[in-house]
Amino acid sequence: MVEKYWKLIVLIVMITLGIGTFYVTSAKTVTTYPEFGITHVNGDKAKIEEVIIQADYFRQNINQAALITTNNTLYRSEFSYVERLEGAFREPTIKRWEKDYKSFMRGKRGWLDSFYEDENYLVFGDIKINYNNVDASMKDSKLYVARLDKKTGEATSFEVKLPNSGEYYFANLQDIQFVDGKLKLIAMNGMENGGTAVHMYTLDMKSKKLIGDERIIGPEALPDNQNTEIMMLGQEFMTHKPNEYAVFRKVVIDETYSKEGDYQRQELANELIAYHYASGKTEQLKLPKKLEEQGQVSLFDGAHLYYTTPNEKGIDVIVYSITNQKIKNNYLVAIQVGANEELPYMTVKDDVLYVMKRMVDEENGATIQAFDAMTGTSVYEGKIGLKEENKAVDEFQLYLSQLQFDE
Amino acid sequence: MNRYIKLVNFEMNRIAKLYVVLLAVTFVSQVVGVIYFSKHFLKQVNEAMTGNPQNRQEVIESMSPLSFDQVTETLLFVGPILISITAVAFYIFIIWYRDWLGKNTFVYRLLMLPTARINVFFAKLTTILLMTFGLVAFQLMLLPFEMKIMQWIVPKDLRIDASINAVLDRFVELRIIFPESFIEFILHYGLGTIIVAIVFTFILFERSFRWKGIIFGFVYGFIAFMLLFSPVLLNELVLNSYLYPSEIVLLEVVAGIIVMACTVWMSHYLLTKKIRV
């Protein structure tokens, strides 16, 4: 019997051993990545509880993305197949919605820009781009909105024609807000005959109709060598929250080629335009001279602009209130930034300014600090580094790229 | 069952010699590749050090150390894998046609065996799978050995020792053959098995109706593939991504089982009622 089948038996044994060993050992190697943690130095620990640090771990030729929280480190390969499939690194807020409102979230994959959430409602908006079969224009495109009443679980949705859509060659949804029973969708539209326009679409939830199409920033007639770049300020994790203002940076750029063929790029104008959601008023911000000279605004929290400049003592922060059109405060965040060191990651959320150094290696940890965004008072300080039991790991680098918030 | 095992054994024996050659080619080509590449690397290091042997430290710092993933990108390493894939792909057809085209139409005896004819189908399918898994397992066992060889040749300060998974992560195409987790392994090779079964049915259509059979075969194949990928297609084209990715995987598994059952049933029908010798 065995004699007759020996080849088959050898093959089957080889298969079981080869493939079996590989998957058993690879399940074990996962645990060889070191654990990082945030150790408390001083301040209020609650400020850091929601924080998830997105990081990349490098050692020799290994490169693994990881998420670090106060309790643990999760490497990409530690996520299950299904988690990786769903997107292990997507925004924690979207993960939470998909868990809590599974049915409403169906077919609504995307970025936080497309959502709005307050205590009562979860709202989703989308510009459905449809290209016309005959002339390939966008004229059949639609605005789609859906709203979930979180208490009753009742969902309503409708779509309307995107007005004048034949004039655009692209339309990107920038943000959606819910003000006084009306949905406000901000879109950036590329005009077929040149330029970019920012539109505010207002939709009434009761009548399920489009009740307003307002052009906040219009396309400008510019010479051939000039063009405008418009950007909406804000951070990914705050666009779904109720915000007071939407702020745009508009830059007019002059591009020329000299006779020698050298490319020259010059900023002719650089202005900030604010839209107030509640009143529907648009205005160009008249910044004080001090800020004009500062150059680009660093952060925006929905109502304030933050200008940050590193100097030898730390990072100088100027807080500008859009409502009062005045500088509200100017303070120094005492954090040492070396001459060759990359600037720390900074972000503002719920009136807290987070400052995080970006590099961790076998010798140095990084710091994460939180300050009262209005006054600059330190509210938390922590150290990011290897956990005690992993201190033996040789040469590595951990690059901290940004923060997520798991609310 | 007994008949089926006998048939598998018979099919395996028929290809055994060629199969061993395939394994041997893989072994020789890859091992030679590792040795050649490692020596070549050392030669480069030595050339950089010529004249001032004190400079070893500087040379090491200026050159990036050798890691095994560089070896996997060479032709001597990838070549045998590509040859193996091609060989198995061809054998999916040859495993059937050799019975017809060989001397004294061997298929006549095969179909006359006192057993359900579908066992012939299963035995051939099993053979293709065993060949594939054998090659995969052989490569997985060979990898640590090849890494050891590199470590014997290249001194520690000139190389990076990585795990197999780290090497595979840097060569994304190899991840199709050696998936990251066992679930993915089952999904990848499950899909592969279904595709092989559909191709088998296509061959049986052709063997049953000859020229007309090719058309039937294509029609059948098209329907089978549409059915197989219907969850993904429906979700993208009709349902606007209504389903979550994990639900699609689940439905794909169900669709796979249905398509596999239909394919086996169709093959059974063709083998018992329509096949021409």
Task: Give the integer Cα–Cα distance in Å for A142 and B2.
Answer: 64
Residue A127 bridge partners (DSSP): A143
Which residues fall within 8 angstroms of residue A93, CB to CB, at 6 or more apart? A112, A117, A237, A240, A405, A406, A407
Confidence of residue A33 (pLDDT cuts 50, 70, 90): confident
The answer, yes or no, to whether residue A31 has pLDDT greater than 60, is no
The answer, yes or no, to whether residue B231 has pLDDT greater than 90, is yes
B181 interfaces chain A, CB cutoff of 8 Å: yes
Task: Give the integer Cα–Cα distance in Å for A387 and A69.
Answer: 12
Q: Which of A5, A32, A85 sits opposite B9 (nearest CB)?
A: A5
Confidence of residue A345 (pLDDT cuts 50, 70, 90): very high
Chain B residues with beta carbon closer than 8 angstroms to that of A17: 137, 141
Contact B12 A62 (CB under 8 A): no
Task: Give the integer Cα–Cα distance in Å for B221 and B214.
Answer: 10
Contact A29 B165 (CB under 8 A): yes
A19 interfaces chain B, CB cutoff of 8 Å: yes
- Closest-approach residue (CA) in chain A for B137: A18
Average pLDDT rounded to a whole number, residues A377-392: 82
pLDDT for B51 equals: 66
Mean pLDDT of chain A: 87
Range of weakest confidence among A12-16, A178-182, A186-190, A295-299: A295-299
The angle that helices B118-153 and B2-49 make with each other, rounded to 10 degrees, is 20
pLDDT for B90 equals: 96
In which region does residue A60 sit, left (phi positive, over 0), alpha (psi from -120 to 50) or beta (all else)? left
Tokens of A37: 């943690």
Confidence of residue A393 (pLDDT cuts 50, 70, 90): low
Contact A19 B140 (CB under 8 A): yes
Higher pLDDT, A168 or B50: A168
Confidence of residue B29 (pLDDT cuts 50, 70, 90): very high
Give the count of Cβ contacts less than 8 A between chain A and B: 93
Task: Tell me how close the Cα of B39 comes to any Cα of chain A, in angstroms.
Answer: 21
How many C-beta atoms surround the C-beta of residue A175 within 10 A? 24
Average pLDDT rounded to a whole number, residues B230-245: 91
SS3 A4: helix
Q: What percent of chain B has pLDDT over 90?
A: 66
Average pLDDT rounded to a whole number, residues A326-338: 87
pLDDT for B277 equals: 77
Contact B133 A17 (CB under 8 A): no
Contact B246 A29 (CB under 8 A): no
Task: Give the integer Cα–Cα distance in Å for B232 and B250.
Answer: 11
Distances (CA, A) of A128 to A131, A156, A160, A208, B34: 10, 17, 10, 17, 54
Describe the strand order of the beta sheet including A168-179 as a list of residue ranges: A168-179, A182-191, A196-204, A209-217
Q: What is the pLDDT of residues B238-271, one digit of tens each?
A: 888 899 999 999 999 999 999 999 999 999 999 9
Q: Which of A19, A32, A106 sits opposite B133 (nearest CB)?
A: A19
CB A326 within 8 A of CB A320: yes
For chain A, positions 40-69, list CB contacts with chain B under 8 A: 60-63
Q: Choose from A38-42, B113-117, B220-224 the range with maximum mean pLDDT.
A: B220-224
pLDDT for A360 equals: 86
pLDDT for B53 equals: 63
B163 interfaces chain A, CB cutoff of 8 Å: yes
The answer, yes or no, to whether residue A369 has pLDDT greater than 90, is yes
pTM of structure:
0.84
How many C-beta atoms surround the C-beta of residue A382 within 10 A? 24
Q: What is the pLDDT of residues A185-200, one digit of tens each?
A: 999 998 887 788 999 9
3-state secondary structure chain B: CHHHHHHHHHHHHHHHHHHHHHHHHHHHHHHHHHHHHHHHHHHHHHHHHCCCHHHHHHHHHHCCCEEHHHHHCCHHHHHHHHHHHHHHHHHHHHHHHHHHHCCCCHHHHHHHCCCCCHHHHHHHHHHHHHHHHHHHHHHHHHHHHHHHHHHHHCCHHHEECCCHHHHHHCCCCHHHHCCCCHHHHHHHHHHHHHHHHHHHHHHHHHHHHHHHHHHHHHHHHHHHHHHHCHHHHHHHHCCCCCCCHHHHHHHHHHHHHHHHHHHHHHHHHHHHHHCCC
B9 interfaces chain A, CB cutoff of 8 Å: yes
Chain A residues with beta carbon closer than 8 angstroms to that of B234: none
Chain B residues with beta carbon closer than 8 angstroms to that of A7: 9, 12-13, 16
Distances (CA, A) of B30 to B77, B84, B166, B168, B193: 5, 13, 19, 16, 27
Planar angle of CA A180, A181, A182, nearest 5 degrees: 90
pLDDT for B188 equals: 96
Confidence of residue B86 (pLDDT cuts 50, 70, 90): very high
pLDDT for B108 equals: 80
Contact B160 A61 (CB under 8 A): yes
Average pLDDT rounded to a whole number, residues A207-216: 91
Q: Choose from A259-263, A363-367, B133-137, B234-238 the range with maximum mean pLDDT.
A: B133-137
Task: Give the integer Cα–Cα distance in Å for A398 and A33.
Answer: 12
Average pLDDT rounded to a whole number, residues A239-266: 84
Chain B residues with beta carbon closer than 8 angstroms to that of A21: 140-141
ipTM metric: 0.89
**DSSP category for residue A350:** T
The answer, yes or no, to whether residue B104 has pLDDT greater than 80, is no
B67 interfaces chain A, CB cutoff of 8 Å: yes
CB A354 within 8 A of CB A315: no
pLDDT for B232 equals: 95
- Picking from A56, A54, A52, A33, the residue whose alpha carbon sits closest to that of residue A399 is A56
pLDDT for B141 equals: 94
Task: Give the integer Cα–Cα distance in Å for A340 and B153.
Answer: 39
Q: Which of B137, B241, B245 sits opposite A17 (nearest CB)?
A: B137
Planar angle of CA B234, B239, B245, nearest 5 degrees: 75
Indicate which of B22, B68, B165 best probes the interface with A, i.e. most A CBs within 10 Å of its own CB: B165
Indicate which of A21, A22, A109 best probes the interface with B, i.e. most B CBs within 10 Å of its own CB: A22
Helix (H) or strand (E) holding A161: strand A155-161
B246 interfaces chain A, CB cutoff of 8 Å: yes
A58-68 CB burial, b ≥16 within 10 A, e <16: ebebbebbbbb
Confidence of residue B48 (pLDDT cuts 50, 70, 90): confident
pLDDT for B52 equals: 65
Task: Tell me how close the Cα of A56 comes to any Cα of chain B, in angstroms.
Answer: 15
A17 interfaces chain B, CB cutoff of 8 Å: yes
pLDDT for B54 equals: 62
A6 interfaces chain B, CB cutoff of 8 Å: no
